[in-house]
A and B are shown apart, each in its own frame.
Chain A
């Protein structure tokens, strides 16, 4: 088997498939029970931001990447200068 792989110059792809599925299914199964943590954080971060500034949805870029040990959540918000809500309310 290994000799064949050497001859064909190919790596086995099944282990990659296995790892990808494990990561994906862990997240999808979690989803059925309780809200996914990454989703929860995303929603709460955006709610917190919206409390202070009115932001155009177009100016919010969200990226997620789910990994085996850690996942990343990237929230990129373009905040216009002078858009502070409470300033407007007070003054």
Chain B
């Protein structure tokens, strides 16, 4: 059965779009049929991170308003045949997204895909609300930093009250994904520890994504990090997270750089 998963956070710039692309690509690489939806009306970005920005014809609002059919707006990834994108509108106004319209789009996507990943805009307003409205599961992207943890707590509250599942008395399955984690700073006590975050939020951990240059490189070339460099620490962390989403039990570690032969040969200077 199809699963609707919202990638949300409250705070902006924590790694929602990066994570949506990486999780979506990793799921597709494992053979799941995946669509990623950009809910960030007016500030679309998921198309850029996926390298599909030059191929956008129609967007989510066109589909909601009936200007285009769903099939016409979906963009298939050029590298992963199981991965599709439904882009956000860049120009039209936010109120064009209606609860009823989103409900129709999600219902139709459920018949075609195994996973529907909703990339939420920042904030706790309408856009963020609509992105989580029909979710079965939620990935709450959190940075080890006080304001991010506080916003995550508010989002958890919304997931437990404003979603269709919550209104029916059911639960949205929630997972914390810690991103931009810097092991060095954490060990020096400059960053909130994982334990602290989990204790405060009382929500299970899906994975820990290290801060890494590989994320920037991947987004420069328009490729999800799991596809651009599957062996890099953030990619391995995202792949572990996806396996956990699929129900596997995997020991929680923070992947680190595997030293290449050359850099080992040249010692620390080249690393």
Contact = CB atoms under 8 A, between A and B. Distances in A.
A14 interface: yes
Nearest to B52: A65
Contact of A13 (B54, B72, B221, B263): B221
B90 A28 contact: yes
A10 B222 CA distance: 16
A71 B219 CA distance: 23
B217 interface: yes
Q: Chain B interface residue count: which class? A: 20 to 34
A20 to B, nearest CB: 6
Q: Chain A interface residue count: which class? A: 20 to 34
A16 interface: yes
A17 B217 CA distance: 9
B200 interface: no
A7 B220 contact: no
A71 to B, nearest CB: 8
Given A8-B260, A9-B260, A20 B72 contact: no
Considering residues B51, B217, B260, which has the most beta carbons from chain A within 10 angstroms of its beta carbon?
Answer: B217
B262 A7 contact: yes
A14 B54 contact: no
Interface in A9-58: 9-10, 13-14, 16-17, 20, 23-24, 27-28, 31, 42, 57-58
Contacts of B72: 57, 60-62
B57 interface: yes
B55 A17 contact: no
A12 to B, nearest CB: 9
Contacts of A24: 48, 53-54
B53 A20 contact: yes
The 10 residue pairs across chains A and B that have the minimum distance between CB atoms: A13-B220, A17-B220, A66-B54, A13-B217, A16-B221, A57-B69, A7-B262, A7-B270, A24-B53, A13-B221
